[in-house]
Amino acid sequence: MNIQRKYSLPNCTLLLEGLSDVTRAAQFQEMRPELSILVNAECYLSGYNQPLTGGREFFESLVRAVSGYAQEFLSSVPNPQAHNQESELVEFQKIDSNRHRLIIHSEGTPEGFESHSKNSKRPPIEIDLNTVQLFDLVEAVDQFFADSQTLPELSLELQPVTRGYGGASQALVRQAVPAAVGVSTLAVAAIAFNLIPPPQMRPPQPKPDEQSSSTTKSLTPVASSAATPIAAATPTASTKPAVKDLEALLNTVPEITDPSQLRALNRQVYNQIHPAWTNRSGLNEELIYRLGVAADGAIVGYKALNKEANLRVGQTPLPNLLYNPANRAPISNEPIGQFRVVFNTQGVLEVSPWRGYASTPQVLGAKITDSNIVKGLNQKLYNAVRKTWSGTPTFTRDLKYRVAVNKDGVIADYEPLNQVAFDYFRETPLPKMFNAIYGSNVAAPNNKEPLAHFQMIFKPSGTLEITPWQGYQQ
């Protein structure tokens, strides 16, 4: 499936075209598919008619150089990532405090970089950007980084430039007299390239936050298979009909109140909305909705609970996530669970049962209870995770998960239990293990066979702890 992603700012538009991995896409018809193979990248800059285009190598080089130069702009300390003429297609030069030269070397000469046969290449393209244009380019790149459905393996990695070059006092000089020093620093920076150690600090995926509406991000999956809700469930601009629908529905159907079922549904609702909520900026006020959800997790209706939520429903993924009667039997007399969903101004999604949990929820499904088998599975799980989890954690607090395995020790479900566990889940081997089996991170949990449940703790010290599941701590 051909996919396009577009990150649009006033002075810069980044257009990515690619394909999604077919095996994964098939599982996930309703969601925004993941662009996992980049075919072509185009970068349009205001004032230049021709876009900068290239393949994966160009794009990766572009985001590295942009990211490094953004940091240099902020600190006035030369950033080696921005000036790597030797091995990068894209580099920057500082002309003065308000002029930044973007240089793109031509791609793909057969001689490669070793020969330095610059003569055989086309001359590099040079574009001078002012500070606002530079910012728009940086912002387009950052919006790409924040988009977990587009080349998720590329994420924002920031680390301070190491000492040894660009000490504090020099930085101060440059800030005061940027024009005089800006260009001469490049040569020195070039020497420092080889001294830079690999990244140590890897902050979490940026959490897009509120910002002014002057920048926009539009995402356009071509050939989208997203559900097109039909009239019965479609909210109009004012969402009034949906309001009626939800309330009318709730008067006629039983409500799901079982805490264990609510907890499972809560996850499904979160897993549907979280990846689909892409533009997390520009909210001045939190948006609160009441959702009706069928037993299979389909969102059957929603109601805006504050004025802002009513006005800005288009900024949320809710209209696209409403169940599609074409794909699913119509709701007739099914029980409905109700949830409170909050899109807050800091880009954080909160989902909770509308009336809370009447008692502590339990994990659904049959359990493996034989303590000897559980013990064996515990060890097996420990070995499997330990084998793939190494390196120095960047998180500073315990990541807690509930992990379930079947009788063969195959991972069947995992659920983050605290916020850090959610933020740093990519640092654990869990998503990869889960993905390898089910082709998705958010597939519905396997509840068909008896499972053994464990609490798994990843500690900042690198220690892994697995204990038999004791239930949710309320």
Q: How far is the CB of 378 from other proteins (least distance, A)?
A: 22
Q: Which residues, at least 6 apart from 432, have a Cβ–Cβ distance to it below 8 Å?
A: 388
Q: Which is nearer to other proteins, 78 or 229 (CB)?
A: 78
Q: How far is the CB of 348 from other proteins (least distance, A)?
A: 8
Under rule CB under 8 A, residue 159 binds other proteins: yes
Q: Which of residues 38-77 bind other proteins (CB under 8 A)?
A: 70-75, 77
Q: How far is the CB of 225 from other proteins (least distance, A)?
A: 27
Q: Which is nearer to other proteins, 168 or 237 (CB)?
A: 168
Q: Which is nearer to other proteins, 110 or 356 (CB)?
A: 356
Q: Please, is 144 exposed, middle or buried when counting C-beta atoms within 10 Å of its C-beta (0-12, 13-18, 19+)?
A: buried
Q: Which residues, at least 6 apart from 306, have a Cβ–Cβ distance to it below 8 Å?
A: 285, 286, 287, 288
**Whether 377 contacts 440, CB under 8 Å:** no
Q: What's the Cα-to-Cα distance from 85 to each of 91, 109, 175, 187, 190, rounded to whole Å?
A: 6, 15, 24, 11, 8
Name all contacts of 421-427 with Cβ < 8 Å and 24+ positions apart.
421/458, 423/204, 423/205, 423/395, 424/204, 424/393, 424/394, 424/395, 424/399, 425/399, 426/155, 426/205, 427/393, 427/394, 427/395, 427/399, 427/458
Q: Which of residues 357-386 bind other proteins (CB under 8 A)?
A: 357-360
**Whether 409 contacts 384, CB under 8 Å:** yes
Query: For residue 330, what are its two tokens?
Result: 């119509």
Q: How far is the CB of 308 from other proteins (least distance, A)?
A: 16
For other proteins, the binding residue among 240, 244, 307, 355 (CB under 8 A) is 355
Q: Which is nearer to other proteins, 176 or 366 (CB)?
A: 176
Quickly list DSSP for 50-71: SPEEE-HHHHHHHHHHHHHHHH
Under rule CB under 8 A, residue 214 binds other proteins: yes
For other proteins, the binding residue among 4, 85, 324, 352 (CB under 8 A) is 352
CA 311/CA 10 separation, integer angstroms: 24
How many CA atoms within 13 Å lie on the side-chain side of 110?
0
Q: Which is nearer to other proteins, 31 or 161 (CB)?
A: 161
Q: Which of residues 166-195 bind other proteins (CB under 8 A)?
A: 166-173, 175-176, 178
Q: How far is the CB of 297 from other proteins (least distance, A)?
A: 15
CA-atom Rg of the chain in angstroms: 25
Under rule CB under 8 A, residue 281 binds other proteins: yes
Under rule CB under 8 A, residue 350 binds other proteins: yes
For other proteins, the binding residue among 22, 37, 158, 436 (CB under 8 A) is 158
CA 441/CA 430 separation, integer angstroms: 9
CA–centroid distance for 416 within its chain: 16
Q: Which is nearer to other proteins, 23 or 359 (CB)?
A: 359
Q: How far is the CB of 317 from other proteins (least distance, A)?
A: 18
Q: How far is the CB of 6 from other proteins (least distance, A)?
A: 15
Q: Which of residues 91-150 bind other proteins (CB under 8 A)?
A: 97-98, 130-132, 135, 138-139, 142-143, 145-146
Under rule CB under 8 A, residue 165 binds other proteins: yes
Q: Which of residues 243-272 bind other proteins (CB under 8 A)?
A: 266-267, 270
Q: How far is the CB of 471 from other proteins (least distance, A)?
A: 12
Per DSSP, the three-state class of 248 is helix
**Whether 129 contacts 137, CB under 8 Å:** yes
How many CA atoms within 13 Å lie on the side-chain side of 406?
10
**Whether 351 contacts 270, CB under 8 Å:** yes
Under rule CB under 8 A, residue 393 binds other proteins: no
For other proteins, the binding residue among 106, 162, 224, 446 (CB under 8 A) is 162
For other proteins, the binding residue among 52, 104, 256, 351 (CB under 8 A) is 351
Q: Which is nearer to other proteins, 86 or 350 (CB)?
A: 350
Q: Which of residues 415-434 bind other proteins (CB under 8 A)?
A: 416-423
Under rule CB under 8 A, residue 292 binds other proteins: no
- Scanning 57-65, 86-94, 165-173, 433-441 for contacts with other proteins by CB under 8 A, the matching segment is 165-173
Q: How many residues bind other proteins (CB under 8 A)?
A: 86
For 212, the enclosing helix (H) or strand (E) is: none
CA 31/CA 199 separation, integer angstroms: 33
Q: How far is the CB of 415 from other proteins (least distance, A)?
A: 10
- Scanning 25-33, 109-117, 203-211, 441-449 for contacts with other proteins by CB under 8 A, the matching segment is 203-211
